[in-house]
Structure 1
């Protein structure tokens, strides 16, 4: 590098640098570099340089190299605290001037010349150590395959703190070509005026640069002196490569697609421009002086490995590493690649661009590519168990698209709409910035998005006067909705399901704490299903969960089925509710009958309690489903009668209380039928459902007190087991008097998942836990997880059906809508798990 000044001066009065204000010859540039090198005299020093694309920065950079110092270029406007603390530079050069900080006492390896960040940002003190030989070797290699001539003039479209931007400077100064120094973007008219004025011959860009070129109509520009474009800094989609290659052929310039890494100074491979139209998916061949191969012991695809004189000396993590000797000249890229028959290399993925979410291996690069094929510009990364997407498109559309591409549930995809995709100063994607994105939207906007997502509606067509119930919400969708609303508002407003969206949008979110609000009915569903599965698997013995779920089912029936909607709409809603309980039950019974004799035809009809056989060990397993379905069928028939419908509307609580009182009377066998008859079991269990129904319609303390009293009377001696009766009383009483509870945020999601899947857990757990024999805890956990997975699959299937047949609700028909793709019905909510044939119906045998 000490010969740098002599090299610059050798090109005499040729133009070296153009800016908007002036032009410097190579001679003038050499003079300035020589003076600056003299100013840095006094032993080798570490110089941190805020790099701008201007003459001052270029002179300081070249002067430092000419003086044998070590330069650390950094982007301006970024906090460099970590770098300053870690490396203690002797000199800092920023927009305000040169600041000497005293000697850092550095031990600097004699070959070390340049330190670069691998990410283009200063978030990490990890740096790449490059020698003068590395820089010279790569500059010569690039200048050779690009055929850079002294008549060329390259615009600095990339920052000088980025290895790609620096390589443009190095390679052109090496051949006596000119540079157009500017920080202007290619979307600025002034940039193109400057480029045309100085007869620019080349442009360098990352994939995002090419997006900008498309945006400004680059294909119509008249650029008579342009010889070639170069592209690196990330994969440009093959279609885009072919697009620009074809444009270049028409306009008389070439496209060089290149592949590199900071660890290799800049470039490791390039695709000859004549192949860009036919081999657009390839990165090409190794640059002159370098060698590429595939480490694939088990097949044709393996890690891409490069060897060459431009490979770094190694990494630096602290100031002590600056004295370390060079490492190997072999670089393992971390990219998965193959070598095609024509000798060209193709990168097929990157190990650290794969994510494991919900047991699925997700190729994030492929997700981005597929989104782009659909016309969606996006960047994807992960944040714990969430796939985060930054996009310039509609966030809801992107969430649906990502779900379709990956198979991930919608709740595990966070899409944030941004004006511009987050990019590093180098022009590469800024994935840490993507990961940190949160939807910057008002609570009102967030709530509307939640309603649209959970109920699968078009947000633009949701009337602000409509409530969750009006829009077709029911017991299953309300679990998801309540959790999502709590995340937005940090509390769950009382009777939120009846409040118009417009009123919810007016609420101000509270400050987020470590606890959240959860509806008691949701918590009861989750706890009850765990009690049911655990008791059946004999992990413990705590019976009564299914009867609590009957109460929750009645509660949801009163809230979501008996709305103010017209009678016909009510009946349709009930019909759909019955279907979303009965159909999964019948389907699972049919599946089970193919490999087990647990069930018979009466189970398939959900009528075992009516038709028998009554002596089977598994005869009563589905008693809860039978009670629930036939109760809903009878109530649907009743409410279809206009007179009954009008009566219920006039006095909702009184109407429910009559049914509760009748149920308690039947519970005490007042009419005299034999309670041992299984068909009568349905009528005897109905009163638990009626309790929940009455709770949903109660509005005063006295009404709730009356329900509590009837509950106590009905439960006294009901099971002949005080512990079981106390458990059921405690659970339903909690729902009567405490509609919502506070619990740790981490538990909210667990409760919601279990509650949401309770129907499927109940249906399937009888076949799952026995597979684990005496490993009862594993059997219980497996049954719970299996049910949750089934619920997610069903939700995804229903969502796909809704996407193919989109429903745009009108306010006059919102209450008549089919349950959303996530609903399982007001009553489906209760997915209980106590089998009569096991122990939950033991009181009747």
Structure 2
């Protein structure tokens, strides 16, 4: 296939974008939806390149891991147009559009990828060598960009393909974003050798990613340090990946022990580990560690990439043999751009001063020993500690920050709450909270000049976090404080005393199980000081609290049956029983009646507010629901033939049952009865509920009773299960479930599921499990309400791909839950501050 001459302007083009067609029918891109050959990809690229025209223009491309984004990127390069590659369409992209005024925008508009021409020509003078503009490592949204030439891109792609030994039979998964230089280098180097891209935005922690990787016969994937944490959680060491040839790592320093561990794993499994070093300013890669040295020299960055070279520049105050690492090679950028006027500039740098302090070992391998500047790259994200200090100062927090390899250390002067400081920093910078370590000191150490003594802070950061003396109770108090977002935790308090509920219980139980091992059934009511100490040096058996396991399993069954991916119903009715079980444990404490009622109101708010917020949003964007749905009154006012209003029957029933239980317990006499007969009262309520279950008075046929009345006995029976204290009481609950559930639906499998769930809930406090399973179950159980709410708007669009529908339904619910929990905690913190 011959390239049309109208696509070849005077500026140089990039070979891997220009010569796609020469690979013919070889697979270029594999997605979950199918395969695109190089010839097909070339046709699509040429079509978009023609649309962009022959006059060079600045083209902004939203760099998603999709075929449309890939085609847009390659088409701009193919036509010789400088590409401004950005993360998406969010605030950082809007800031870059405002700063650089691109001539063409390629990205999604209302879900459809579109070429938006903002002008026929160009508003800019564009240097002939300019091919690509990228934000510096992690600093997306900043007007400071890296200017790369076509020669930079071609040289680095060939260099990487050379030392990795990329073959045309290789298949690389896109585990990193296209707009990130490391992720982009995977694309460029594999296209340069006619290899295949497995194009996906799934996480390595997602089972669907590995299903796609295996089905596509994946041979390689890339990761930053955080990726390897996710691999550990996903049980990567146990995965069967028969075609895997090598794994690459860059984006920050990987702990030497992790390098050794993965190198050993690769040696046993027949694949190589390439540890690499790079910066956006060098297009992507500057050095790599040969795989055969990973086990013996895991602290080294290795040798320069083919065509590159290092030298050391003097760095004041450093020992002999240590200096600033300076790199030279054909992949060094043209220079920086800070304004549109800089797009006309040619080369302004010949070498790259990396800002890293380095030395060269006797074996010729290079090692990074520190940073010359205070910028730090943490989990692949470039962080400016000075900007973090300024942020905290705006919140009246005096602090000094230091970047380490995998965390930001924030030293705070005074009595600021560490949990609050961690949230402020994590939210602003974009780091996960676990990567922000907060230390408190009476005052910051300072030099005679009055400046902060950062060397002294670095020494302090190297000491253990916990101030001596400490105890296991102190550690547990800190864990409770973090999960419950409180700073007044004492060893004399229990989870229930501290206001824990069924939502926070999930996270608390999973995290506490990691520390203590198997938890006692009544851990939530025990004072922290009365919890068992962890057995040091002895492997612990993993277990998962049964109510958490049932919540996680039930929500998967509900969503999967609605799609339908499978048909195994009964999950929602089982959740009613679990709700009753948790109501007894968290709302019916030994606290005074008013405190109990306050807890019930808070629990109702945690259900009603996110539910009505979601339904209100859906009323705006769809016509599925009515005002009765928003008011959670559909089961009362109908219409009886509504097609979608029944979606939220479970939440309506749960709300009515909680309101009814709260109203009963608001009566002083009933409150006293419950305390005196904790098992007898729910059993009596089961008896009342069975009147509705069996429609003793024939009301259901005439009036269409709400589900709360018809199925309310399940909630009461779950309540009774939580209050059962001996074998006789547990047998009574089990027999009641086995006697009353069958016949309710007329579906034996559905009824057997509910009875089995009741038996587990009543007799088995915890089930054997694995650490990764616990974490996954914790996420699903903690988000079960939100998954139930949101899945109705997700799976109908993916009925022809039921497995993907299930995964996305769960993921959207978890995301909505994360937003709700963050908003809830912010409001709670403001309330606590107001009370203080």
Give the shorter-chain TM-score range: 0.5 to 0.7
Shift of 1:801: 2.0
Q: Is the 8 A contact 1:490 1:516 kept in 2?
A: yes
Spell out the pairing of 1:6-25 with structure 2 (5 A cutoff).
Answer: none
Tell me if 1:124 matches 2:299: yes
Q: Could you tell me which residue of structure 1 aligns to residue 377 of structure 2?
A: 353
Q: Could you tell me which residue of structure 1 aligns to residue 399 of structure 2?
A: 376
Tell me if 1:737 matches 2:748: no
Shift of 1:434: 7.5
Aligned equivalents of 1:311 and 1:631: distance in 2? 63
For 1:79-132, what per-residue CA distance to the aligned partner results, in whole angstroms no more than 9, with x for missing partners? 9xx9xxxxxxxxxxxxxxxxxxxxxxxxxxxxxxxxxxxxxxx97355899xxx
Change (3 A) 1:125 1:408: closer
Tell me if 1:445 matches 2:486: no
Shift of 1:557: 0.6
Q: Secondary structure at the match of 2:767?
A: strand
Spell out the pairing of 1:555-634 with structure 2 (5 A cutoff).
Answer: 555-634=581-660
Q: Could you tell me which residue of structure 2 aligns to residue 474 of structure 1?
A: 501
For 1:9-34, what per-residue CA distance to the aligned partner results, in whole angstroms no more than 9, with x for missing partners? xxxxxxxxxxxxxxxxxxxxxxxxxx
Q: Could you tell me which residue of structure 2 aligns to residue 666 of structure 1?
A: 692
Q: Is the 8 A contact 2:355 2:371 kept in 1?
A: no
Q: Could you tell me which residue of structure 2 aligns to residue 160 of structure 1?
A: 319
Aligned equivalents of 1:652 and 1:321: distance in 2? 71
Shift of 1:678: 3.0
Q: Is the 8 A contact 2:516 2:533 kept in 1?
A: yes
Which sits farther off after the overlay, 398-407 or 620-629? 398-407
Q: Is the 8 A contact 2:692 2:711 kept in 1?
A: no
For 1:277-302, what per-residue CA distance to the aligned partner results, in whole angstroms no more than 9, with x for missing partners? xxxxxxxxxxxxxx997255996599
Q: Secondary structure at the match of 2:700?
A: coil
Aligned equivalents of 2:608 and 2:355: distance in 1? 66
Q: Could you tell me which residue of structure 2 aligns to residue 718 of structure 1?
A: 744
Change (3 A) 1:307 1:539: closer
Q: Is the 8 A contact 1:135 1:310 kept in 2?
A: no
Change (3 A) 1:128 1:807: same
Match among 403, 406, 419 for residue 396 of structure 1 = 419
Q: Could you tell me which residue of structure 2 aligns to residue 239 of structure 1?
A: none
Shift of 1:162: 6.0
Q: TM-score with structure 2 length normalisation?
A: 0.54
Aligned equivalents of 1:538 and 1:471: distance in 2? 41
Shift of 1:524: 0.9
Match among 640, 645, 649 for residue 671 of structure 2 = 645
Q: Is the 8 A contact 2:544 2:769 kept in 1?
A: yes
Shift of 1:556: 0.8
Q: Could you tell me which residue of structure 2 aligns to residue 489 of structure 1?
A: 516
For 1:458-508, what per-residue CA distance to the aligned partner results, in whole angstroms no more than 9, with x for missing partners? 23xx3433221122111111111112222222332220111012223x634
Q: Could you tell me which residue of structure 1 aligns to residue 66 of structure 2?
A: none
Aligned equivalents of 1:666 and 1:136: distance in 2? 83
Aligned equivalents of 1:395 and 1:666: distance in 2? 52
Q: Is the 8 A contact 1:354 1:364 kept in 2?
A: no
Q: Could you tell me which residue of structure 2 aligns to residue 457 of structure 1?
A: 486
Aligned equivalents of 1:723 and 1:128: distance in 2? 63
Q: Could you tell me which residue of structure 2 aligns to residue 499 of structure 1?
A: 526
Q: Is the 8 A contact 2:422 2:433 kept in 1?
A: yes
Q: Could you tell me which residue of structure 2 aligns to residue 294 of structure 1?
A: 335
Which fold has the larger relative contact order, with Cα–Cα distance below 8 Å and residues 6 or more apart in sequence? 1
Q: Is the 8 A contact 1:520 1:735 kept in 2?
A: yes
For 1:670-693, what per-residue CA distance to the aligned partner results, in whole angstroms no more than 9, with x for missing partners? 333235743243211101111110
For 1:413-446, what per-residue CA distance to the aligned partner results, in whole angstroms no more than 9, with x for missing partners? 554669999xxxx998999998997768632111
For 1:675-725, what per-residue CA distance to the aligned partner results, in whole angstroms no more than 9, with x for missing partners? 574324321110111111001111111111100000001112111111111
Spell out the pairing of 1:31-430 with structure 2 (5 A cutoff).
Answer: 124-125=299-300, 158=317, 160-161=319-320, 163=322, 261-263=324-326, 294=335, 300=342, 305=349, 307=351, 319=363, 353=377, 355=379, 363=383, 365=385, 368-370=388-390, 373=393, 374-381=397-404, 383=406, 389=409, 391=411, 395-406=418-429, 410=433, 413=436, 415=438
Aligned equivalents of 1:730 and 1:712: distance in 2? 9
Change (3 A) 1:369 1:661: same
Aligned equivalents of 2:594 and 2:814: distance in 1? 33
Q: Is the 8 A contact 2:518 2:543 kept in 1?
A: yes
For 1:123-155, what per-residue CA distance to the aligned partner results, in whole angstroms no more than 9, with x for missing partners? 7355899xxxx999977xx9xxxxxxxxxxxxx
Q: Could you tell me which residue of structure 1 aligns to residue 191 of structure 2?
A: none
Aligned pair count?
512
Shift of 1:525: 0.8
Aligned equivalents of 2:593 and 2:348: distance in 1? 68
Q: Is the 8 A contact 2:312 2:326 kept in 1?
A: no
Unpaired runs of 5+ residues, structure 1, are 1-78, 83-121, 143-155, 165-260, 266-290, 323-332, 336-346, 811-845
Spell out the pairing of 1:684-699 with structure 2 (5 A cutoff).
Answer: 684-699=710-725
Aligned equivalents of 2:795 and 2:783: distance in 1? 16
Q: Secondary structure at the match of 2:751?
A: helix
Aligned equivalents of 2:638 and 2:321: distance in 1? 77
Change (3 A) 1:315 1:712: same
Change (3 A) 1:411 1:472: farther
Aligned equivalents of 1:780 and 1:427: distance in 2? 50
Shift of 1:558: 0.4
Shift of 1:409: 6.1
Aligned equivalents of 1:311 and 1:629: distance in 2? 58
Shift of 1:665: 4.1
Change (3 A) 1:375 1:501: same
Change (3 A) 1:670 1:772: same
Q: Secondary structure at the match of 1:377?
A: strand
Q: Is the 8 A contact 1:443 1:489 kept in 2?
A: no
Q: Is the 8 A contact 1:551 1:690 kept in 2?
A: yes
Change (3 A) 1:382 1:557: farther
Aligned equivalents of 1:135 and 1:784: distance in 2? 48
Q: Could you tell me which residue of structure 2 aligns to residue 542 of structure 1?
A: 568
Aligned equivalents of 1:355 and 1:557: distance in 2? 40
Aligned equivalents of 1:136 and 1:262: distance in 2? 6
Change (3 A) 1:464 1:427: closer
Shift of 1:450: 1.7
Tell me if 1:797 matches 2:797: no
Aligned equivalents of 2:565 and 2:718: distance in 1? 29
Shift of 1:309: 13
Aligned equivalents of 1:597 and 1:353: distance in 2? 47
Aligned equivalents of 1:414 and 1:640: distance in 2? 45
Which sits farther off after the overlay, 396-405 or 361-370? 361-370
Q: Secondary structure at the match of 2:823?
A: helix
Change (3 A) 1:539 1:371: same
Change (3 A) 1:415 1:436: same
Aligned equivalents of 2:720 and 2:431: distance in 1? 39
Q: Secondary structure at the match of 1:379?
A: strand
Change (3 A) 1:408 1:633: farther
Q: Is the 8 A contact 1:757 1:787 kept in 2?
A: yes
Q: Could you tell me which residue of structure 2 aligns to residue 3 of structure 1?
A: none
Q: Is the 8 A contact 2:546 2:766 kept in 1?
A: yes
Change (3 A) 1:548 1:427: same
Q: Secondary structure at the match of 2:746?
A: coil
Shift of 1:778: 1.3
Aligned equivalents of 2:711 and 2:679: distance in 1? 20
